[in-house]
Amino acid sequence: MVLLTGPVAQAFIPQADRTMRAIAKVNRSSGRSQALQLDLTMRVGDRDPVARGQMISHPSGLARLELRGVNGRLDRYLLSGRELLGAKNGEPLDQPQPLLQPYFFLQPSTETTLRAALQAFDVLSDSIGLAPCGEQDCFVIGDPRLAAPLPDPEHALAAVDEGDVIADPLELLAEGGSAEGTLYDLAADAQGGLIGPDGQTHSNGLMAMAKLEGPELMIPEDAHLPRLWVDTDDLQVRRIDRASGVFTIFGPIVSFEKLMVPAWFEIHEPGAEAIRFEVDRAVQVNAPPKAFSRKWVYAPTTPALPTNPAPDSGMGSGNTPNPGAPGNGNSPLR
């Protein structure tokens, strides 16, 4: 096992501002830096589809979701910053399910706008660490417990052989290369078996980093922090954590012509089955501010529109058939 400490560990993790600039560049090149319309199929757990719908997400921090289920049932959700509104057939939901998460984290085109979006959700945007995420490794923005410890000034870089030059993963990505085969891989692998200050091996490094000294690390080990997880290989967003314990996982990137988006995303709420949205279609749209209004959320139910409208007609009230199963109460379409 490898214990990551001192200047070596620091070298593997880029500073947050550089990382966010690189993420914003990926967002631009993926075509996501303007309003998007995603046509979705919704599943609960491993069951058959329960609804089809449409999500429109704007990089300014606005999103709306419309779902149509059996018997013409219509559920609408609006996310404006952190405020979530919901309605069933035009009637307000007192506690709407967290079906609409900040997908717009995948859309900011500059470091400034990305940082503003993260800070609006209380993400500690100056903190960056490293942790496994599925079969990949991710930079994690927002969790000081995962950050590398500060180097011991008594240990110089001379402790590292000159031949073991530590490559900057962001520079490699900018040049179209890969971080594989560098000492960066060693750091990433070690996160899967990190030896903590208590002498125990921890699966994700969380325990080890939480016990380090420092005022910013006085965070309970089991505390839920808002965090953004970004794949170290391609800098695509892989996961969003919320302070409530809800988290969203994003699937592999697929292309809809020049637009690159996750093939699916899953919303995990504590104590509930995972909700999976498969992306059937994605287009850029012109979404004016009035499209994200309370009036839209609470509008009376209207008949479904034909499937697959023109891209610029994404502001309509619905666009899909009703293949789902009945829902109940404030648990729409489950």
Output the CA–CA distances (angstroms, integers) from residue 39 to 67, 251, 284, in the order listed. 10, 16, 12
Please, which residues bridge with residue 49 across strands?
A: none
The alpha-helical segments, DSSP class H, found in 3-149 are 6-12, 16-29, 111-120
Judged against a pLDDT cut of 70, whether residue 274 lies above it is answered with yes
Mean pLDDT across 240-260:
96
Confidence band (pLDDT; 50, 70, 90) for 7? very low
Mean pLDDT across 157-177:
49
Beta carbons within 10 angstroms of residue 172's beta carbon = 17
Contact (CB, 8 A) for 13 and 4: no
Supply the mean pLDDT for the chain: 76
Which residue do the tokens 């091996």 mark? 201
Please, which residues have CB within 8 angstroms of residue 60's CB and are 6 or more apart in sequence? 104
> How many residues in the chain?
334
Confidence band (pLDDT; 50, 70, 90) for 173? low
Q: Give Cα 322 distance to the centre of its chain.
A: 28
- Sign of the CA dihedral with 82 first, then 117, 107, and 313 last: positive
Q: Give 119-136 pLDDT, tens digit per residue.
A: 999 999 999 999 999 888
Contact (CB, 8 A) for 266 and 246: no
Beta carbons within 10 angstroms of residue 309's beta carbon = 18
Please, which residues have CB within 8 angstroms of residue 302's CB and are 6 or more apart in sequence? 74, 317, 318
Amino acid code (one letter) for 203? S
Instruction: Give the integer Cα–Cα distance in Å for 150 and 318.
Output: 53
Judged against a pLDDT cut of 50, whether residue 260 lies above it is answered with yes
Judged against a pLDDT cut of 90, whether residue 331 lies above it is answered with no
149: DSSP letter: P
pLDDT at position 169: 52
Q: Among 43-47, 172-176, 182-186, which is the least confidently predicted range? A: 182-186
Classify 291 as helix, strand or coil: helix
Instruction: Give the integer Cα–Cα distance in Å for 104 and 107.
Output: 5
Please, which residues bridge with residue 119 across strands?
A: none
Please, which residues have CB within 8 angstroms of residue 271's CB and are 6 or more apart in sequence? none
pLDDT at position 177: 52
Instruction: Give the integer Cα–Cα distance in Å for 127 and 232.
Output: 16
